[in-house]
Structure 1
Amino acid sequence: MYDIIYIGGGLNYAGAIMAAKKGLKVALVEKDLKQLGGVCLHKGCIPSKMLLHYAKIAHQSQNNIFEGSLKLNIKTLVEKKDKLISSAAKSVRAQCKDIELIEGEGIIKEAHQVRVNDKVYKAKHIVIGTGSSPYIPEGIVYDAHQIITSDEVLNLQELPQEICIYGAGAIGLEMASFFASNGVKVSLLSISKGIQKKAHHLIQKAMLGQLEYMGINFLEEHNITKAITHSNKVVISLENKEDIHTSMLLVCTGRKANLSVIQTEGIKVAEGIQTDEYFESSLKYHYAVGDCNAKLQLAHAAKAEVINVTQRILANNVPALDLSRVVQFVHTLPMSVASVGRTPQDTEGLSVGIVKLNAFSASNFHEANEGVMIVYADNDKFIVGAEVLAPDAEELIAPIAMALAGEMDTSLASKTIMAHPSFAEALERVYFRL
């Protein structure tokens, strides 16, 4: 009998390591131990941000103060990416030395039992973290070569001359930036109108302008009814619009929770495994964290969730995790967008401080004239939310996220003297406007 069995070797390993260090008997079940570390490490945030880092350098070299421009060697970059992943995966494996690693697909048919390869393992607590997979809409004939998903895009050995990207969410926007920065003709198709619709209208407008600046053809209200490969081309049929012919189609229409682990009616599922605020499912002592609970499909959220669950198993008096304090961001180029806390749809009665980054010298040499920082505060001047559009916005929003988590008011937060010239100077000004 184990104290805890963790199913899924993504960010679940963070909880397993914590529990093992506290002396608990722990097992971690992973379908393929070569993929220990999960989608984030092998196919998601880490390799994609590496590619975007080098894409940013290539984009900056196109400035007319340089003679010529850099051309990305995609084969060398993919090799470098693979070495990074291999090194990080070895590090994760080394940290799991006190955990029993079980390879195979874990199935829950009865409470406190996990079946793997016809063998049953028992535990007092079971933490499910089986992640998610790309969702491919009906009518799109996926072939992993010309019609691809985020699973394949980071392993391309050469860049296409043109690409259509279906879906203007985080992955679609980031990949559009990557390809456009490297001279690929990009069409970004969105089922609905606009982008980042939960963002402040100033950010929505600036991001649309950024797409145009990057040479990305943004096609709103384009619903794909069928996509097939024909004569070395992808033929895309659209609802009430003319067909599109392109070299490659990248499908970025969201991700679906991996739920094959659940084979008992005791655990309720919908879009994901349903849980309470403590990530406990409808079956007591069985928890779901990360993408499979369909709350926030972000690696850092998954890590925070599994650590919170593990802490509660260890101590039981740990408060629920406030998911509104999770920083969300999209790493587009040349500016990324980040948010934390309250959103514009939930700001009635709040004070709003807005500072445009073109007021600061740093914007002149960072392609950030359309950048903006927006901070929300309550009636007592406590910071309750923020949105930032800036180069590396996920870094710039960090002190605001810390102020929110630390329940700081604007008078305390504004005491820091920021460096000049820097985008951090905007923090001083925005706090004074609240």
Structure 2
Amino acid sequence: MSSFDVVIIGSGPGGYVSAIRCAQLGLKTAIIEKYPTLGGTCLNVGCIPSKAMLASSHHYEELQHFADHGIEVSGEVKVNLAKMVERKQAVVDQTSGGVKYLMDKNNVTVYEGVGSFENATTVNVTKKDGTVEQLQGKNIIIATGSKPSTLPFIKIDKERIITSTEALKLTEVPKHLVIIGGGVIGLELGQVYLRLGAKVSVVEFMDRIIPGMDGALSKELTKVLKKQGMKFYTSHKVKEVTRNGNAVTVKADDAKGNEVVLEGDYALVSVGRRPYTDGLNADKAGVKLTERGQVEVNDHLQTSVPTIYAIGDVVRGAMLAHKAEEEGVMVAEYLAGQKPHIDYNLIPGVVYTWPEVAAVGKTEEQLKEAGVAYKVGNFPFKALGRARASADTDGFVKILADAKTDEVLGIHMIGARSADLIAEAVTAMEFRASAEDISRMSHAHPTFAEAIKEAALAATENRALHV
């Protein structure tokens, strides 16, 4: 039996980043992955492949508007979906290969197989041929991630009634893609196929899309996606999904009980994700799970067993790759005797549609509910010279600041490059900047980032310069 200071179950962003940090800190580390490739859901069937498809489809969409820039393209422009999927897979393979390189570089021992507990200090690695190898761990980190959720009455056949995994490798552009769920994953994949020519309908139980984000972002994204051709059925409860050959029927009731029937050739079930602990045998180690199936942890991410930790999608909090990474580093440093800390309020959220949506901190709804006195600064992208030059004028930046202290409490944006711009917001809030602090920082001109400065000026005695 091989012995390690740390044994990590799962090689997603949380697991593999934790492995690297453990190794950097001098801990003998092993990582277990049941699939042949490293990187977990994010690298293989989530973040990376979806962004590759978004990028490819965005290029195709932009090509339709080249004439506006004085670029004339002769001949027919066609979508080669097979080539697009092939490129996506090449990006995935390269990225996953990069993780394998990092494991080798940092002397992390990789085991391919299903990791499960034998007891609180022993992990079984069940390999494809059925053989079992046991690893001894002074400390063990559960990083098994999540899987797509479904509804009890929906049977996922992975052909016509699909999850995000299958949506990333379709062999044809749907004629009508019905998406159940108006969250991040559904909207991103919906926009991919909308750009490629599909009719896309989104059915959402809540009264708005991206319901966890600030209401102003939801309203603006709805407006923009409708303009692009996406149809929305909010406040609709799906009650039945059936398949007949290549046809899929989705039935839903609106808030008044009226039935809506949508006929499509594919239905994408995108109603969130569930923590994945199947086959982990957590009970054998004495690890407790919550009613929601999450691994129960304390503020140090320790489970009910002090030498066993859990990170990422399998524990409480937002299911985000970068949140998992931060937690992986935190546990590694805690094991090395350091005193790391994560401010979960400053973990940004991003939707990679175009325009992109990003946010950090409190929403306006949360501040109202908490009874916090606040002020608002808004600035539209259409007032930016760079946005007009790039023909990316949809969206705005919204800053929420404490009414008395001027400390920034939340920054919400929708527009070009918001996924990158949100880092400035996180930095400012990490150092507890006031809106005036941001307003007095020099921002290069012309850039999209100027929208943040202008929104800060708007929050500071309504001093925005360009509106």
TM-score bracket, normalised by the shorter chain, equals: over 0.9
- Equivalent residue number for residue 30 of structure 2: 27
Alpha carbons 2:240, 2:252 under 8 Å: kept: yes
**Displacement of 1:380 after TM fit?**
2.8
- Equivalent residue number for residue 16 of structure 1: 19
Alpha carbons 1:162, 1:186 under 8 Å: kept: yes
- Equivalent residue number for residue 116 of structure 2: 107
- Equivalent residue number for residue 452 of structure 2: 427
SS in 2 for 1:264: helix
Question: Are residues 1:298 and 2:304 paired?
Answer: no
SS in 1 for 2:318: coil
- Equivalent residue number for residue 381 of structure 2: 357
Question: Are residues 1:190 and 2:209 paired?
Answer: no
Structure-2 change in CA distance of 1:242 and 1:360 (3 Å): closer
Give unmatched runs, 5+ long, in structure 2.
127-131, 461-467
- Equivalent residue number for residue 250 of structure 1: 268
Of 331, 336, 339, the match for 1:314: 336
- What fraction of aligned residue pairs are identical, expressed as a percent? 28
SS in 2 for 1:398: helix
**Displacement of 1:274 after TM fit?**
1.6
Alpha carbons 2:141, 2:310 under 8 Å: kept: yes
1:172-214 superposed Cα distances (whole Å, 9 cap, x missing partner):
1111211111111111111222123343343222112112101
Q: How does 1:88-103 map to 2 (within 5 A)?
A: 88-97=95-104, 98-103=107-112
Alpha carbons 1:366, 1:391 under 8 Å: kept: no
**Displacement of 1:99 after TM fit?**
1.5
Q: How does 1:40-119 map to 2 (within 5 A)?
A: 40-63=42-65, 65=68, 70-97=77-104, 98-117=107-126, 118-119=132-133
1:330-378 superposed Cα distances (whole Å, 9 cap, x missing partner):
1112x11100112223322233222222222233345544411111223
Structure 1 window deviating more from structure 2 (402-411 vs 10-19): it is 402-411
- Equivalent residue number for residue 464 of structure 2: none
**Displacement of 1:317 after TM fit?**
2.3
Structure 1 length-normalised TM: 0.93
Structure-2 change in CA distance of 1:224 and 1:412 (3 Å): closer
Alpha carbons 2:148, 2:273 under 8 Å: kept: yes
Alpha carbons 2:393, 2:415 under 8 Å: kept: no
**Displacement of 1:242 after TM fit?**
4.2
Aligned CA RMSD, in angstroms, stands at: 2.0
Q: How many residues align?
A: 431
SS in 2 for 1:315: coil
SS in 1 for 2:232: strand
Opposite residue 455 of structure 2, the aligned amino acid is: V
Structure-2 change in CA distance of 1:235 and 1:346 (3 Å): closer
SS in 2 for 1:160: coil
Opposite residue 189 of structure 1, the aligned amino acid is: V
Aligned equivalents of 2:25 and 2:220: distance in 1? 48
Aligned equivalents of 2:320 and 2:42: distance in 1? 9
Q: How does 1:341-380 map to 2 (within 5 A)?
A: 341-347=361-367, 348-366=372-390, 368-378=392-402, 379-380=404-405
Q: How does 1:101-180 map to 2 (within 5 A)?
A: 101-117=110-126, 118-180=132-194
Question: Are residues 1:274 and 2:277 paired?
Answer: no
Alpha carbons 1:331, 1:392 under 8 Å: kept: no
Alpha carbons 1:9, 1:129 under 8 Å: kept: yes
**Displacement of 1:300 after TM fit?**
1.0
**Displacement of 1:109 after TM fit?**
4.4
- Equivalent residue number for residue 259 of structure 1: 277
Aligned equivalents of 1:297 and 1:44: distance in 2? 12
SS in 1 for 2:30: strand
Of 306, 326, 331, the match for 1:284: 306
SS in 1 for 2:398: strand
**Displacement of 1:2 after TM fit?**
1.5
Opposite residue 77 of structure 1, the aligned amino acid is: M
**Displacement of 1:313 after TM fit?**
0.6
- Equivalent residue number for residue 225 of structure 1: 239
Opposite residue 88 of structure 1, the aligned amino acid is: T
SS in 2 for 1:92: helix
Aligned equivalents of 2:212 and 2:267: distance in 1? 26
- Equivalent residue number for residue 422 of structure 2: 397
Alpha carbons 2:362, 2:410 under 8 Å: kept: yes
Alpha carbons 1:257, 1:294 under 8 Å: kept: no
Of 216, 234, 255, the match for 1:202: 216
Structure 1 window deviating more from structure 2 (20-29 vs 232-241): it is 232-241
Give unmatched runs, 5+ long, in structure 1.
none
Aligned equivalents of 1:99 and 1:387: distance in 2? 39
SS in 1 for 2:336: helix
Alpha carbons 2:209, 2:234 under 8 Å: kept: no
Question: Are residues 1:324 and 2:327 paired?
Answer: no
Aligned equivalents of 2:361 and 2:311: distance in 1? 20
SS in 2 for 1:404: helix
Alpha carbons 2:52, 2:91 under 8 Å: kept: no
Aligned equivalents of 2:456 and 2:186: distance in 1? 33
Alpha carbons 1:198, 1:344 under 8 Å: kept: no
Aligned equivalents of 1:224 and 1:374: distance in 2? 33
1:109-164 superposed Cα distances (whole Å, 9 cap, x missing partner):
42122122344322111110001111121222211111111111111122122211
Opposite residue 410 of structure 1, the aligned amino acid is: A
1:196-245 superposed Cα distances (whole Å, 9 cap, x missing partner):
33433432221121121010111123322232321321122334514322
SS in 1 for 2:171: coil
1:396-421 superposed Cα distances (whole Å, 9 cap, x missing partner):
22211111113333344334322222
